[in-house]
A and B are shown apart, each in its own frame.
Chain A
């Protein structure tokens, strides 16, 4: 069944439009790659879903909840989990304090992610839990940002280029974590510039270009469809 449904969305940075009649429909329990070139509008799509940029028309529904006019924090309480592309950990808070900030004390979402489970899933973070987040490596910060969002038990995870700028070994670790999440039936929208990192994780893909969705389907189909890839994804 449909978990997140974006219909005919037009979104703006002040007066410049970035999303044009965008339509996205995400089924519960699926991992979907949101692909597109540099500047295609992937991050802007996430910012529209979280309420960080202005939506002038169209709608965003999470199940039956209409998020379109909600403030950002209410959307998070409703179940939107956002991991931004630049990670945005709180640099002067310790690892553990960062994770605690992600807890939602005043929501009725069911609590499947306790801190024990976070430490189990991210043993690296457990070993660093007293360290100031500003002194973590890029990969550790990425994991922390994901863990901080997970501890709030989101019903959908918006991951913005989690592999960006990371060493292959770290990317492997993050892939493993995402594959584990997949097994638990998590719903994830995974933004990436190319399909390489998503290949083993996502089942389906949506391509956006110049703020519009231009293609969607099975990710294996996309793998064989060189023409589409060349048109929308090649650098």
Chain B
């Protein structure tokens, strides 16, 4: 691949019916590019968790995916409330998800830990009251 490929998605806030749509499309796009299924799976898991977090915690946002020779970069940006204590948010089991969200099966506090676990690089830039940008990389 001489040039990198980019995909952009807008993620709706609060819509749990279509939640995960951008991740499913990224999975399909990466499959068409012929990437290793194990790499696609890692990207899919990390992106889904980040996408769902934007839907649940930040009233939506945007997703940019960049594919180059050796790496998939995922950039998730929202204008939500931000994360006051990133270290605490990263802990297994920490969640502020409300009951109605928990009843759907979310709120285990495992999303951010999964994103860390399935990527080679993860950076959270968050400002309370302004929003959150999460950058992840999966190498191949």
Q: Do A and B come from the same complex?
A: no
Chain B contact residues, CB within 8 Å of chain A: none
Chain A contact residues, CB within 8 Å of chain B: none
